[in-house]
Structure 1
C-alpha cells in the first residue's frame, strides 16, 4: 500500500512544475516556489497528525480517515484538471493541499501500523532475552529497508509511467490514473481489516489516559520526571524509565543535525538537472534505481562486509548507518562540485556565438553523484526511519515516524532559505542571482556544491560527537 501511495503521489507531483507553467500559466519561479511549499507542508503535516493519532485516535482509525481524505483530494485534483477552464486559477490549491492533509495522516500512521503487525516495536526486548532481542532487531531493520524499497519502486513507476502519459495523452488521464491507484490502495486496506493485529501499547489502555499523553509529555519536559506508572508497571519500573520529555529533548539535536542531509536530499530534483541533458530524464531516476538494487544486496553483501571489517556478527548499528550515509552524501556533493567545475570550464569564451551555451554533460559523468546519493539514502533515510521509530515510547510510535518525515519538511524550507541567502550574499552589479545566475560565465553552482559538502562534513563531525553522548535505547 505504501508503494501504491508513492505511485499516486509521484504521479501527480513529479511533473507538477510543468503542469503549472504550461497549463495553468504560472511563471517558472512561481511554479517552483508553489511546489517547494507544497512539498514542505506535506512533510510537516505528518508530525501534527501523528500527535493526534497517538493521543486521541488509534493508528487504524487515522489511516482510515486520512486515506479517504487522500482519495477525495486526488479526485478533486483530477476534476479540477478536467474543468480548469471553468474555475478560477487560485482554486487549484484547495484540492492540492487536501491531498497533503490526507498524506499527512496516512504516511506516518501506515508505517507505524505496518511495524505493529510484526511486533517489532514492543518495549519488552530485554525481557525476552538477548537472542530474541537480536532477532527482533534484524527483523526491524529488514522491515524498514523493504518498506523503503516498496516506496522507491512506487516512486520510480509513478515518475516514469505518469510523466509519459501526461506528456503524450493529456493531464486529465495523467491525474485520473494516480487517483484510481490511490483509491485501490484504500480499498485494499479496508478489505484486509480482519487480518490486522491491533496492538495496545502499555500505558494506552483507555481513551482518557491516551488523550492526556501530550500533556504528560509537556509536563515531563518541564519537570524532567518519569511519567506515572501504567497498570502493567510497578512504581519502581516507572522510576527507572526515562521521562518522555527527556527522550524527546534527547532526539532533537540529532533531528536538527540531519536537516543538512535533508537539504542535500533535494539536489537531484533542483540544481542537478541543470548539469544533465534535458532530454535524458532517466538520469535523475538513477538514484531510485540504485536504491532498488541495493536493498536486496544489503543483507547478503553489506552486512557480511561490515562484519568482516568490525570483527563482529551484528553488522552496524542504526546510528552508524546514518553516519555512513552522511559520509557518502558528502562525497557525492564533492564529486558534483568537481564535475560542475569541469563543465563550467568548457564554456566557450563570450562572443563565440551559439557555441557559448553551457554544455550539457553525458549521463556517464553524472551517474557517480546520483548513484552515491542513492546509496546514501539506503543508509541514512532507512536508518532515520528505524531510529526515530525505536527511540520513542510504544505509545508514541507514530510521532516517531512524524519526526523523521518532518526532517525533510523543515529541510525543504531551510534549503529554500539558504538559496535565497546565498543569492543575496553573492549578488553584484549586473548579476542579481550570484552563484545561481542563468548566465554560464557568471554562475558558480560548483561553489554551492562545495558549500554543501562542507556543511555535510561539519554536520557529520557534530553527529559523531552527539552519538558519543547519546544514551537512548
Structure 2
C-alpha cells in the first residue's frame, strides 16, 4: 500500500481474494445466462420475443433485488452475513437449475422459472454486498481518516483502481463462462453445461468461508444502532414523498457550500448514530439521507436507456448470430452464437489495464490538461460509444436482411453472412462498458455516506434491473405497434426474412443519443461529493 508522499498504490490480499470470488460468480452466472435465450427457443420451445422478454425480465429482477438486499445489509445485517446467507441461496438455485435440465422431460415447463429466480434472489444479496465488502478491505482508512498516511488524491486512486480491477475480474469470469460453457452446452448437453457452473459456484462459496480470518470486518460506528422497521418506513417515505427532485446549480451559493456541505457531512457521521435521543436522531437523518438519494435519481434515471442496450448481447445479438453462418474451417467447427459475447469481455480485459497507462495520458495530450477525466465524463464517453455500437448493429442487421431476402431459400440465404460481422458491435459495447459501467460503480459508491455504501452499489445495480423491465416493456410495445397481417410479432418475427431487428437497433440508438444529450445537461448542474467527479 502507498504511504503519504508515494504515488504507488496497491490492493490488499483480502481485496484481491474478493475480486477473484466475484470473477468466479460471473463465470457461474454467465455460464447459465449467456446462452439462456438459445435454451429457451431451441429446447424449451419459446418464440424469439417470448424468450428475449423472459431473459430480460430475469436479468431485471436479478439487478433490482440488490437494492432491497442492500438496504437490509446496511440497516439490519452486516455485509459478511449478507454474503453468507445469499450465497447459499445462490448455490441452491444453481443446483436446482442443473437438476431441471437433467430431468427436463419429467418436469413441467413452468417450473423452470423457480430455480432461475432463486438464483436471482441469491445474486441480489451476494453481488452488492460482496463488492462493498471488497471495497471495505482497502487498507486506506475511512474518507476522513488522516492516520492512514494517504492523501485524499491517493485514496481516490486506490478506490478507482479497485473498481477497475473489480470489473476486470468480473469480465475475466464472464469470458470463461461465455466461451467455455456455451460450447459445452451446444456440444455436450445442457445438463453438463449447467452442472459445471453450479459446482464452480459451490467451490467459490466454500473458499470464501475458508478465507474468513483474512477479512477486515468493518465495525459499526460508535453509538450506532440498528433502526426499527418504523424508521426504515420513514426513510423510504421521505424518499417517495419528499420535495421535488432537483439538481442544484454549480453557480448557486458561491459564498459557501450550503446544503452540499450539510449533505456531505453525513459522510463523516454514522447514519444511525444517536448521541442523545435515538428516535429524534434517526427521524432527522432520514430526510437528509433521502435528499442525497434524490440528488442521484436524475442521473440514475437517464442511465436506464444504456441499461436497455446492455441487455442486447444476451438476447437479440445472440439470436442474430443464430441466423448467420457460424461455422469455420469448412464447416468442421461450429461457433456457438453466445460465444461471441466473449469478445465484449476480451475487449474489457485488454482495455482496463491500459486505461490509466495509455488512455488517460492520451486524453490529457488531446485536451492539454493533466487532470484526466471526471467520473461523469467517463460515463458520458461510454454512452456515446453505445450509440455507435447500436448504429453498427443496425447496419449489419440490414445487410443480413438484404442477403436473406435476395437469396432463394430464406434461412439458408441468411446463413451465408458470416457471424464474425457481429464482432464490431460486440467490441464497441465492451469498450463502452469500460467507461460507463466502471464509472457508474465508482459514482454511486462515492456519492453516498459511508454507512450507505452497500445501498450505493444497490442503486448502481438497480439501473440495470429497471432497465431490464424497460427493455421488456419496449419489446412488448413495439411488437404490438409493428404487428401486421401475417406477421403478428412485427419487428421480432421468428422468420429471418420478416424480422426487423435493424429498426429496433436504430430505435435504441436514437433513445441513447437523446439520453446522452440530457445527461450532458444534467452534469452541468450536478453537485455532489467531490464536484469534479474524480
| TM-score of the aligned structures, taking structure 1 as reference length | 0.88
Segments of structure 2 that go 5 or more residues without pairing to the other structure are 1-20, 244-258, 277-281, 328-334, 530-534
| Alpha-carbon RMSD | 3.3
State the Cα deviation string for residues 181-234 of structure 1 (Å, max 9, x = none): 111111111111111111235477333589946634644775779799756999
**Equivalent position SS for 2:414:** coil
Structure 1 contact 247–392 (Cα < 8 Å) conserved: yes
Match of 1:277?
325
Work out the CA distance in 2 between the residues paired with 1:302 and 1:49.
36
The alpha-carbon distance between structure 1 residues 370 and 88, as it changes in their structure 2 partners (threshold 3 A), is: closer
Work out the CA distance in 1 between the residues paired with 2:215 and 2:413.
58
State yes or no: 1:428 paired with 2:447.
no
Match of 1:408?
464
Work out the CA distance in 2 between the residues paired with 1:22 and 1:441.
19
Listed as ranges, the matches of 1:32-431 within 5 Å are 32-118=52-138, 122-124=142-144, 132-200=151-219, 202=221, 205-208=224-227, 212=231, 215-216=234-235, 218-219=237-238, 243-273=288-318, 274=320, 276-279=324-327, 280=335, 281=337, 282-349=339-406, 352-353=408-409, 357-358=413-414, 360-363=416-419, 365-431=421-487
Work out the CA distance in 1 between the residues paired with 2:135 and 2:448.
14
**Equivalent position SS for 2:143:** coil
Match of 2:35?
15
- Bigger helix share: 1
Work out the CA distance in 2 between the residues paired with 1:272 and 1:121.
44
Structure 2 contact 375–439 (Cα < 8 Å) conserved: yes
Work out the CA distance in 2 between the residues paired with 1:442 and 1:220.
46
Work out the CA distance in 2 between the residues paired with 1:34 and 1:355.
25
Higher mean alpha-carbon deviation, 421-430 vs 24-33, is at 24-33
Post-superposition offset of 1:375: 0.2
Q: 1:448 aligns with which of 489, 504, 507?
A: 504
| TM-score of the aligned structures, taking structure 2 as reference length | 0.79
The alpha-carbon distance between structure 1 residues 214 and 189, as it changes in their structure 2 partners (threshold 3 A), is: farther
**Equivalent position SS for 2:527:** coil
Post-superposition offset of 1:165: 2.4
**Equivalent position SS for 1:285:** helix
Structure 1 contact 319–383 (Cα < 8 Å) conserved: yes
Work out the CA distance in 1 between the residues paired with 2:77 and 2:63.
20
Work out the CA distance in 1 between the residues paired with 2:508 and 2:89.
38
Post-superposition offset of 1:356: 8.1
Work out the CA distance in 2 between the residues paired with 1:113 and 1:184.
19
Structure 2 contact 178–341 (Cα < 8 Å) conserved: no
State the Cα deviation string for residues 135-164 of structure 1 (Å, max 9, x = none): 111111111111111111111111222222
Task: Give the paired residue count.
Answer: 469
Post-superposition offset of 1:269: 2.5
**Equivalent position SS for 2:224:** coil
Structure 2 contact 479–489 (Cα < 8 Å) conserved: yes
The alpha-carbon distance between structure 1 residues 329 and 283, as it changes in their structure 2 partners (threshold 3 A), is: same
Segments of structure 1 that go 5 or more residues without pairing to the other structure are none
Work out the CA distance in 1 between the residues paired with 2:43 and 2:112.
12
The alpha-carbon distance between structure 1 residues 386 and 29, as it changes in their structure 2 partners (threshold 3 A), is: same
Structure 1 contact 217–244 (Cα < 8 Å) conserved: no
Higher mean alpha-carbon deviation, 413-422 vs 149-158, is at 413-422
The alpha-carbon distance between structure 1 residues 232 and 115, as it changes in their structure 2 partners (threshold 3 A), is: farther
The alpha-carbon distance between structure 1 residues 396 and 382, as it changes in their structure 2 partners (threshold 3 A), is: same
Work out the CA distance in 2 between the residues paired with 1:109 and 1:323.
27
Work out the CA distance in 1 between the residues paired with 2:484 and 2:240.
47
